[in-house]
Structure 1
Amino acid sequence: MKPKEAPIARPPHPLLSRDLIARTALGLIDRDGSDGASVRRIAANLGVNPTSLYNHVPNRAAIIEDVRAIVSANIDSRPLRETSWENGLRTWARSYRSAFAGHPRAIPLLMTTRSSTPVLMAQYEDFAVAAEAVGWTSTQVLPLLTAFESFILGSVLDMSGPAVVFDPTGQEEQFPRFAAAFSSLEHEDPNDPVASRAFELGLAMLISSARPEHYDAR
């Protein structure tokens, strides 16, 4: 009788991969902020020795780039090429905000490290092509892109905090008009919070002046 083959032992932990390392890092960043991106913490969460990670990624910077790629993959820049400039900006900006909405604690880390991840570079290429198509020069593309990104990411941070960070209660006589505006929050629709309305208002204002003929450098 042929002896039974011994079952293949399953590894005690999920097999390491570059994607697993990056997604683990993102989860830790979501929980702990930039501190969660340390190689030691990522390895501990995966139940492996820190040196094991270097079989898949060269360094911490590469992990951060992979995290950026995961988040940025949800940004849709195709409308910048496929629709009108204004409609493309609107769709791109909304998808950008949505991509980071679930990861606001990643913003300080990702916005203070250099990036060359192809996912993001392809999106920036779409932006540059669309911007130049309506008349912006190559020297104006980066300031224009930065203006939009600063607004979008600021909006993400705004929506991740309290509805408002100011309260004039008790000072209504000194600041009657602002107090009246503040009191309108009592009737706020939870499905349409201040942060969302502020984003749409600000986005509309940016887009309305997003052609070079409307630009005034004074």
Structure 2
Amino acid sequence: MRCAVDISAPAVSVAVLDARFVLAAKATLSFADDAQEQSLVYSRKTLRDAEGNEVATLRRTTGVCSTSDETFLVESALLAQPAEIVNTTGWSWLTLTHTWRLDDHGSALRIAGRFYSSNATISVLLPTREVLQVATASRRLQTVTLERGVDAAAVLLLCRTWSHAQRDLMASTLVAVPLPIFVLVSFFVAVPYHWPVFAGILVLEIALSLVLTARFRG
């Protein structure tokens, strides 16, 4: 008696929201919050379809001073349960990476791009460790080009988390620059009352940091 076992890679659907948003052909969409004439528009933390119906909402769950990974919660009636998009960059100084775990078998949707860059790549990670590129994004133009068969809604939400984190990174860098410059100058230049000024700048820096990092940019 002979038995034949068909072993094949598990089929992973990129449609993590709903089949209606799966592209029939390669297309370019905008993930800007003020996109015009798009089938899916992200605005004020909400993704809506062409009729204005709410598809999904996105909010950040990580606190301002939290040491945990930056996490975005995706809530949608089209999802069986709320999904989390997590900043998995870790201690990397080169790339900014966000991952959306699709199931318990190791499948994930991931976006990655260099800090302060204009481009990012969106890929599907399979349980077999195979990586399939499904889209490319341009942060400067805020457009994303998706391959055929990809869930546009899921990719747009993933692009928004990446965009939010990039803006936070830029804002925090701008806030952090003046303080060390003033400290360096104060050591080489006799500035009267430099310590009170230093303390004032420090308080201002902390206040601005809290405001900028607490705000959900879009």
TM-score, structure 1 normalization: 0.26
Larger radius of gyration: 1
Bigger relative contact order (CA 8 A; separation at least 6): 2
TM-score, structure 2 normalization: 0.26
